[in-house]
Amino acid sequence: MKGSIEVIAGGMFSGKTEELLRRVRREVYAGKFVQLFKHALDDRYAVEHVVTHDQTALPCIPVQSSNDILTHMREETRVVGVDEANFFDEGLVDVVQALADRGLKVLLAGLDMDFRRVPFGPMPSLLAIADDVTKIRAVCITCGEMANYSYRCDGSDDVVHVGSTDAYEARCRSCYHMGTRICAVPPERRPSLTTSTSS
Ligand code: ZN
């Protein structure tokens, strides 16, 4: 089997994890032995299960580092899924390359940029070494255009913000620059930035 690397990149609320799980389920359906990993920001993170087409539960293994993926690898594994790839160390790039060189298919999903619009963790390198890249976008909460950015409304500046996603909004380029002053305004009362054409 020929190995490969597929990366699904996008902002928050863009559906990256759903797309990853869709691809994972397809591999399970094709009879491949799949292992799914997710970054554990802290060790309280519980194992979650992804329900596959035949109602079998595929465990999503929380790991703290890229090396932990290698530690958990099983002989029969043909496909590896990695969610929240942006939170991993740079070592993930070598791990992924090594797995693909061994003939495995590696599917990754992650945030391409943090809330400052800075490329996130190992994502730029993963995008570079990928055989296939899918960049998906969310919908801007303010104007409804395609949104590339995850805007942070709570004023905090930690890049890794453990906890709820409530502080984030999907915003397009124009609305990103409206800053925090529209954070408290409900989406339906925000100024529409959609260019009005003759109607
Ligand atoms: Zn917008």
Reduce the secondary structure of 42-75 to three states and give it as a string: CCCCCCEEEECCCCCEEEEEEECCHHHHHHHCCC
pTM (predicted TM-score): 0.89
Q: Give me 75's structure tokens.
A: 């002989």
C-alpha of residue 195 to centroid of ligand 1, in Å: 11
C-alpha of residue 144 to centroid of ligand 1, in Å: 6
Q: Give me 183's structure tokens.
A: 């954070």
Predicted pLDDT at 54: 65
C-alpha of residue 177 to centroid of ligand 1, in Å: 9
Residues 70-82 pLDDT 10s? 999 999 999 999 9
CA distance 37 to 1: 21
Predicted pLDDT at 197: 43
Band of pLDDT at residue 34, cut at 50, 70 and 90? very high
Per DSSP bridges, beta strands 138-139 and 146-147 are antiparallel
CA distance 103 to 181: 50
Predicted pLDDT at 199: 38
* Mean pLDDT in residue range 86-94: 97
CA distance 106 to 100: 7
Predicted pLDDT at 107: 98
| In the block, residue with structure tokens 């993170």 | 45
* Active-site annotation holds for 145: no
* Choice among 6, 27, 84, 169 that is catalytic: 84
- Is the torsion defined by CA of 49, 122, 9, 97 positive or negative? negative
Percent of the chain with pLDDT over 90: 70
Per DSSP bridges, beta strands 34-39 and 132-136 are unpaired
C-alpha of residue 152 to centroid of ligand 1, in Å: 14
Q: CA neighbours within 13 Å on the CB side: how many for 166?
A: 4
